[in-house]
């Protein structure tokens, strides 16, 4: 079901060492960025689009460059999955990120970022519990046909689940296709399609946005970073089981998802 891939790198260079963090922490950089945005107008856009927002520019160039360097450095350790008809691609879980790319973990917890997302969504937001391998993760589309079929980012939590996608690398023809308002009988469905440039973002309520990533062509690469925030981090035990199984099979592999339960690293 999964393998460690090292042979599909479209880069000539050998894997780079994990780069040192840039000067300064991500939080002040995000604070600077969001202070320059017209947040009330963006909140209105989010509402009008049924809990969806796309910004082609968000992160500052330094933080974006850091993400690009980390994505390239972590690529050799990714976990590849193939679910016929639904998904093919690679991912790096929050556990690997914690070990090798703490800059990303810090960005995830940035108070300025979470505060801004709360303003846009209108919901008080919390980070996901430590055991959730999906709390923050990198997705890689590096082989021809890598894609994710139509789906919702269903919340298994007791509260709502928001997904923040951050564009990291896009040298691909992949598109994020989506349909707004599908769960709202009073508003007509509204299709759309974007590519997320490095440093751009997409924010949505996972239960409201039907979306997919179209298949990569040959010699293409796309990497996106996903952050998941919730309004209530409680989860019923059997839904936790389903969520863990989905993450093990579709994303990160059993070792990453169940390593705490199994007592391993
Ligand atoms: O790669 C992306 O940008 C989004 C992937 C996605 O929709 C998912 O894994 O649920
Ligand atoms: Fe998704």
- Mutation probe of ligand 1 site: the residue of 148, 155, 202, 204 with most atoms within 8 A of C-beta: 148
Domains, the chain, with CATH or none: 23-262 (2.60.120.620)
Which ligand is closest to the CA of 54, given by its number? 1
The finding on whether 216 has its CB within 6 A of some atom of ligand 1 is no
> Ligand 1 test: best mutation among 224, 246, 247, most atoms within 8 Å of CB?
224
Q: Is the CB–ligand 1 distance for residue 148 below 6 Å?
A: yes
Among left, alpha and beta (phi > 0; psi -120 to 50; other), residue 145 is: left
Task: Give the ligand at the shortest distance from the Cα of 91.
Answer: 1
How do residues 52-94 score in pLDDT, each as one tens digit?
Answer: 999 999 999 999 999 999 999 999 989 898 888 889 999 999 9
How many angstroms does the Cα of residue 14 sit away from the middle of ligand 2? 30
Q: What is the pLDDT of residues 163-190, one digit of tens each?
A: 999 999 999 999 999 999 999 999 999 9
Give me the pLDDT at residue 209, please: 97
pLDDT category of residue 8 using cuts at 50, 70 and 90: very low
CB 165 near ligand 1, within 6 Å? yes
Binding site membership of 213 for ligand 1 (Cβ less than 6 Å): yes
Asked whether 141 lines ligand 1 (CB < 6 A), one says no
Q: Tell whether the model's pLDDT for residue 5 goes beyond 70.
A: no
Complex ipTM value: 0.98
Ligand 1 pocket residue status of 153, Cβ below 6 Å: yes
């Amino acid at each position: 079901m999964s393998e460690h891939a090292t042979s599909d790198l479209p880069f000539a260079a050998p894997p780079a060492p994990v780069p040192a963090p840039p000067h300064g922490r991500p939080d002040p950089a995000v604070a600077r960025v969001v202070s320059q945005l017209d947040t009330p107008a963006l909140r209105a856009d989010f509402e009008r689009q049924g809990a969806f927002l796309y910004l082609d520019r968000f992160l500052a160039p330094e933080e974006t460059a850091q993400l690009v360097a980390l994505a390239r450095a972590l690529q050799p350790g990714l976990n590849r999955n193939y679910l016929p008809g639904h998904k093919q691609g690679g991912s790096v879980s929050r556990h690997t990120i914690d070990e090798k790319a703490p800059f990303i973990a810090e960005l995830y917890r940035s108070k300025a970022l979470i505060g801004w997302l709360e303003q846009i969504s209108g919901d008080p937001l919390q980070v996901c519990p430590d055991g959730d391998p999906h709390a923050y993760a990198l997705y890689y589309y590096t082989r021809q046909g890598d894609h994710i079929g139509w789906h919702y980012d269903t919340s298994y939590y007791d509260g709502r689940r928001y997904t923040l996608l951050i564009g990291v690398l896009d040298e691909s023809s992949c598109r994020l296709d989506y349909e707004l308002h599908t769960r709202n009988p009073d508003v007509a469905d509204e299709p759309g399609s974007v590519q997320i440039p490095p440093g751009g973002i997409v924010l949505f309520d996972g239960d409201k946005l039907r979306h997919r990533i179209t298949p990569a062509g040959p010699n293409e690469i796309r990497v996106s970073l996903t952050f998941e925030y919730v309004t209530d981090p409680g989860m019923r035990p059997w839904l936790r089981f389903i969520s863990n199984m989905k993450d093990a099979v579709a994303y990160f592999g059993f070792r990453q998802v169940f390593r705490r339960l199994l007592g391993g690293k």
